Homo-oligomer: A and B are copies of this chain.
Amino acid sequence: MKRIAVLTSGGDAPGMNAAIRAVVRKAIAEGMEVFGINRGYAGMVEGDIFQFDTQGVTNIINRGGTFLQSARYPEFATLEGQLKGIEQLKNKGIEGVVVIGGDGSYHGAMRLTEHGFPAVGLPGTIDNDIVGTDYTIGFDTAVTTAADALDKIRDTAYSHGRTFVVEVMGRNAGDIALWSGIATGADQIIVPEEDFTFKDVVAKVKDGYENKGKKRHIIVLAEGVMKAEEFAAKMKEAGDTSDLRTIDLGHIVRGGTPSVRDRVLASWMGAHAVELLKEGRGGLAIGIHNESLVESPILGTAEEGALFSLDGDKIIVNNPHKARLDFADLARDLTY
């Protein structure tokens, strides 16, 4: 392959720029031409595509977000959209594409694979909920940002003897809540992967103040459970009498200078994606597993180790992500 392109899609994540830089630099080092696609699949279909030079990715390794921009683009779910996108790429002589993003991006990459166009997927999302990888690009930064906010909230919670319910992103995954909660000594961590009762939550708050000498109580709540305000209202219904406040960290957690680990992971994966395309290999998603890079077929059966199967038009996720519940136990062991 001599000519490839790169796009980012879905929610932005810190480290996406480092991944783009790696794709561009590695491709040029390998003697390939490399193009950027603006605004994800929308830009692909509209032909919003430009050629990179090496200087085009200078000074972006440490910038948050994605300078190629991202966009939601439901039209790419249609066959017509997909074929139009492939046509735009072929018009420019582009033979393969690196897709950086989360679920939606991977679904797009699956459609490209279905139509025989070589695509390589990189897991770019803060949520750490992508199949085929231990960690996603952006996760380490997101937990760092969340933990930084939790360290700050702890100051003010202690100063006033307050209880805080702090909602963190993560879609249906509890990973951000678990890691940031353990790292900041949160008193309780509530994730979608585990059952809980408000009676127990409230009892633990009460026990902390009355019997354990605690002067504050921090509850980290994964957004996949419910909104912080609803959670707090239900705590009150269940009898909580503490000075209770809520905060939703929201989009703060998506931004910011990527962490070293995310920059290294993004650089490593981005360079590897180019190696695969150079060898003419597409239809693969790159992951990190046990400290090594691995590739999974994007489309196929569970037995083949593929990420997705198709049942007619329905997409089946072969091995859905599961958060580490041993970390939930660890968190409980270390609060008193």
- Residues 169-198 of A, flagged 1 when their CB comes within 8 A of B and 0 if not, give 000000000011011110000000000000
A276 close to chain B: CB less than 8 A: no
Greatest chain B CB density within 10 A among A11, A149, A161, A179 is at A149
- Chain B CB within 8 A of A36 CB: no
Residue A61 CB within 8 A of the other chain: yes
| A245 CB contacts on chain B under 8 angstroms | 251
Interface string of A206-227 (1 = CB under 8 A from B): 0000001101000000000000
Q: Which of A80-88, A110-118, A262-270, A305-313 contacts B (4 or more CB under 8 A)?
A: A262-270
Chain-B contact segment, one of A151-159, A234-242, A295-303: A151-159
Q: Which residues of B contact A156 (CB under 8 A)?
A: 12, 64-65, 251, 254-255
Contact B260 A160 (CB under 8 A): no
In the complex, the answer to whether B152 meets A54 with C-beta atoms within 8 Å is no
Q: How far is the CA of A149 from the CA of B145 in the complex (A)?
A: 10
Q: Is the CB of B335 within 8 A of A25?
A: yes
Q: A65-B159, A250-B247, A260-B143 are in contact. Are A336 and B25 (CB under 8 A)?
A: yes
Assess A147 versus B260: contact at CB under 8 Å? Given A65-B158, A152-B64, A158-B65: yes
A3 within 8 A of B: no
Q: How far is the CA of A156 from the CA of B248 in the complex (A)?
A: 16
Question: Nearest chain B CB to A26's CB is how many angstroms away?
Answer: 5
A267-B330, A335-B25, A336-B29 as given contacts; A260 in contact with B180, CB under 8 Å: yes
A143 → chain B closest CB, angstroms: 5
Chain B residues with CB below 8 A from A14, complex form: 155
Assess the A333–B260 pair: CB atoms within 8 A: no
Q: Given that A268-B330, A290-B291 are contacting pairs, would A255 and B154 also be in contact in the complex, using a CB cutoff of 8 Å? A: yes
Complex Cα distance, B158 from A67, in Å, reads: 8
* Cβ < 8 Å to B, chain A residues 123-147: 134, 140, 143-145, 147
A119 to chain B, nearest CB (A): 21
Cα–Cα, bound, A208→B209 (Å): 39
Q: Would you call A104 an interface residue if the criterion is a C-beta within 8 Å of the partner chain's C-beta atoms?
A: no
Do A55 and B155 touch across chains, with their CB atoms under 8 A apart?
no
Provide 17 A-B residue pairs closer than 8 Å at the C-beta atoms, listed in order of the A residue: A14-B155, A25-B335, A39-B161, A54-B212, A54-B336, A61-B184, A64-B152, A65-B158, A70-B159, A71-B160, A143-B260, A145-B152, A147-B260, A147-B263, A152-B252, A179-B260, A271-B334
Binding site for B on A (CB under 8 A): 8, 11-12, 14, 16, 21-22, 25-26, 28-29, 39, 54-55, 61-67, 69-71, 134, 140, 143-145, 147, 149, 151-156, 158-161, 164, 179-180, 182-185, 212-213, 215, 245, 247-252, 254-257, 259-261, 263-264, 267-268, 271, 290-291, 327, 330, 333-336
